[in-house]
Amino acid sequence: MSLDSAPPALDGLTLSDAAVPELQFSQRVQIKSILGRPDKGAGLAGQKVRIGGWVKTGREADKGAFAFLEVNDGSCPGNLQVLVKAHVYKLSDVVSTGSCVHLEGLLKSPPEGSKQSIELDVERVIDVGTVDAAKYPLPKTKLTLEFLRDVVHLRPRTNTISAVARIRNALAYATHTFFQKHGFLYVHTPIITTSDCEGAGEMFQVTTLINDAEKFKLGGGGIPKKADGKIDYTDDFFARQAFLTVSGQLQVETYACALSSVYTFGPTFRAENSHTSRHLSEFWMVEPEIAFADIQDDMNCAEAYVKFLCQWLLDNCYDDMEFMTRYDKTALQRLEMVAKSTFHRITYTEAVAILEEAAKVRKFENKVEWGIDLASEHERYLTEERFKSPVIVYNYPKAIKAFYMKVNDDNKTVAAMDVLVPKVGELIGGSQREENHEVLKERILEMGLPIEPYQWYLDLRSYGTVKHSGFGLGFERMILFATGLDNIRDVIPFPRYPGRADL
Amino acid sequence: MSLDSAPPALDGLTLSDAAVPELQFSQRVQIKSILGRPDKGAGLAGQKVRIGGWVKTGREADKGAFAFLEVNDGSCPGNLQVLVKAHVYKLSDVVSTGSCVHLEGLLKSPPEGSKQSIELDVERVIDVGTVDAAKYPLPKTKLTLEFLRDVVHLRPRTNTISAVARIRNALAYATHTFFQKHGFLYVHTPIITTSDCEGAGEMFQVTTLINDAEKFKLGGGGIPKKADGKIDYTDDFFARQAFLTVSGQLQVETYACALSSVYTFGPTFRAENSHTSRHLSEFWMVEPEIAFADIQDDMNCAEAYVKFLCQWLLDNCYDDMEFMTRYDKTALQRLEMVAKSTFHRITYTEAVAILEEAAKVRKFENKVEWGIDLASEHERYLTEERFKSPVIVYNYPKAIKAFYMKVNDDNKTVAAMDVLVPKVGELIGGSQREENHEVLKERILEMGLPIEPYQWYLDLRSYGTVKHSGFGLGFERMILFATGLDNIRDVIPFPRYPGRADL
Check whether residue B368 and residue B479 sit in a common domain.
yes
Cα B161 to Cα A465, A471, B153, B264, B490, distances in angstroms: 19, 25, 11, 26, 7
Chosen from A153, A216, A432 to mutate, greatest number of chain B CBs within 10 A: A153
By Cβ distance, the residue of A24, A267, A301 closest to B25 is A301
Same domain, A397 and A277: yes
Asked if A293 and B180 come within 8 Å (Cβ–Cβ), the reply is no
Same domain for B125 and B166, yes or no, is no
Q: Is the pLDDT of residue A200 over 90?
A: no
Contact (CB<8Å) B75/A259: yes
Tell me the nearest-neighbour CA distance from B198 into chain A, angstroms: 14
Quick check: is A294 in a domain?
yes
The CATH number covering residue B75 comes to 2.40.50.140
Same domain, B52 and B163: no
Which of B128, B169, B312, B341 best probes binding to A when mutated, by most A CB atoms within 10 angstroms?
B169
CB contact under 8 A, B162 and A258: yes
Closest residue on chain A to B4 (Cα):
A345
Burial B5-22 (b: 16+ CB within 10 A, else e): bebeebeebebeebebbb
Judge: A237–B271 Cβ closer than 8 Å, yes or no: yes
- The pairing of strands B205-207 and B242-244 is antiparallel
Q: Domain for residue B235, yes or no? A: no
Of A100, A214, A220, the CB nearest to B221: A220
Residues A411, A370 contacting (CB under 8 angstroms): no
Q: Are strands B413-421 and B391-397 parallel, antiparallel or unpaired?
A: antiparallel
Residue B136 lies in a domain: no
CB contact (8 A) between residue B210 and residue A213: no
pLDDT in tens, A51-63: 999 999 999 999 9
Mean pLDDT of chain B: 92
Q: Which range among A202-211, B79-88, B153-162 shows the weakest confidence by mean pLDDT?
A: A202-211
Digit-coded pLDDT (tens) for B244-265: 999 999 999 999 999 999 999 9
**Does residue A284 contact residue A476 with C-beta atoms inside 8 Å?**
yes
Subunit contact B342:A5, Cβ cutoff 8 A: yes
Per residue in A20-30, pLDDT (tens digit) is: 445 678 899 99
CATH of the domain at A251: 3.30.930.10
Strand-pair category, A344-347 with A391-397: parallel
| Residue A210: pLDDT band with limits 50, 70, 90 | confident
Residue B223 inside a domain? The answer is no
| In-domain check, residue A280 | yes
Q: Cα–Cα distance between A380 and A355 in angstroms, integer?
A: 11
**pLDDT for residue B294:** 97
| Partner-chain contact B190 A296, CB within 8 Å | no
**Alpha-carbon distance B337 to B317, whole Å?**
16
In whole angstroms, give the CA distance from residue B15 to residue B13: 6
Model pLDDT, residue B180: 97
Whole-number Å distance between alpha carbons of B3 and A503: 48
On whether both A254 and A199 belong to a single domain, the answer is: yes
Residue of A48, A274, A475, A472 lying closest to B186 (CA atoms): A475
Yes or no, beta carbons of B281 and A192 under 8 Å apart: yes
Asked whether the ipTM of the predicted complex exceeds the cut of 0.85, the reply is: yes
What is the reported pLDDT for A18?
A: 40
Chain B residue with minimum CA distance to A139? B463
SS3 of residue B157 by DSSP: helix
Question: Could you say which of B77, B112, B129 is where a domain stops?
Answer: B129
Residue B15 has a pLDDT of 46
pLDDT at A167: 98
* Cβ neighbours of A155 (radius 10 Å): 24
Cα B74 to Cα A122, B244, B320, distances in angstroms: 56, 33, 11
pLDDT at B2: 35
pLDDT at position B453 over 50? yes
Q: Is the pLDDT of residue B218 over 90?
A: no
Say whether both B99 and B188 belong to one domain.
no
Instruction: Round the CA-based radius of gyration of chain B to a whole number and report it.
Output: 27
Is residue A503 situated within a structural domain?
Answer: no
Which chain B residues are Cβ-neighbours of A207 within 8 angstroms?
204-205, 207, 210
Q: How many CB pairs under 8 A join A and B?
A: 420
Nearest to A464 among B100, B168, B192 (CB): B100
Q: Looking at the structure, tell me whether residues A122 and A177 fall in a common domain.
A: no
Predicted local confidence at residue B241, as pLDDT:
92
Contact B258 A493 (CB under 8 A): no
Q: How far is A175 from chain B (nearest CA, A)?
A: 11
Least Cα separation, residue A112 to chain B (angstroms): 31
Residue A471 to residue A175: CA distance in whole angstroms:
14
**Closest residue by Cα to residue B225 from A437, A218, A72:** A218
Looking at the structure, do residues A280 and A377 belong to the same domain, yes or no? yes
pLDDT confidence of A220, banded at 50, 70, 90? very low
Strand, coil or helix: what is A143?
A: coil
pLDDT for residue B219 is more than 60? no
Q: How confident is the model at residue B200 (pLDDT cuts 50, 70, 90)?
A: low
Domain membership of residue A215 (yes or no) is no
Interchain contact, B494 vs A190, CB within 8 Å: yes
Torsion of CA B484, B490, B493, B494, to 10 degrees: 150
* Poorest-pLDDT segment among A381-395, A403-417, B114-128, B225-239: B225-239
Q: Side chain identity at B9, as an amino acid letter? A: A
Contact B74 A156 (CB under 8 A): no
Closest CA–CA distance from residue A373 to any residue of chain B (Å): 22
Q: A486: how many CB neighbours lie within 10 A of its CB?
A: 15
Same-domain status, B400 and B472? yes
Contact call for B210 and A207, based on CB within 8 A? yes
Instruction: Kindly state whether residues A199 and A97 are assigned to the same domain.
Output: no
Residue in A156, A210, A292 closest to B255 by CB = A156
Of A492, A192, A159, A98, nearest to A325 by C-alpha is A159
Q: CA-CA distance, A270 to B436, in Å (whole number)?
A: 39
Arithmetic mean of pLDDT, B39-43: 96
Looking at the predicted structure, is the pLDDT value of residue A296 above 50?
A: yes
Measured CA to CA, the distance from residue B195 to residue A198 in angstroms comes to 30
- Residues B125 and B163 both lie in one domain: no
Length of chain A: 503
- ∠ CA B103-B106-B109, rounded to 5°: 125
State the Cα–Cα distance between residues B503 and B497, nearest whole angstrom.
13
Domain that holds residue B57: 15-129
With beta carbons under 8 A apart, name residues in chain B contacting A222: 221, 223, 231
φ and ψ at residue B214, rounded to 5 degrees: -65, -40
Report, as an integer, the average pLDDT of A368-389: 97
Which of B213, B258, B464 comes nearest A131 by C-beta?
A: B464
Is B134 a member of any domain? Answer: no
Whether residues B112 and B60 share a domain: the answer is yes
Q: Report how many domains make up chain A.
A: 2
Question: Considering only CA atoms, which of B33, B73, B40 is closest in space to residue B56?
Answer: B73
CA distance linking residue A13 with residue A22, whole number of Å: 11
Question: Which of B138, B207, B296 is closest, CB to CB, to A2?
Answer: B296
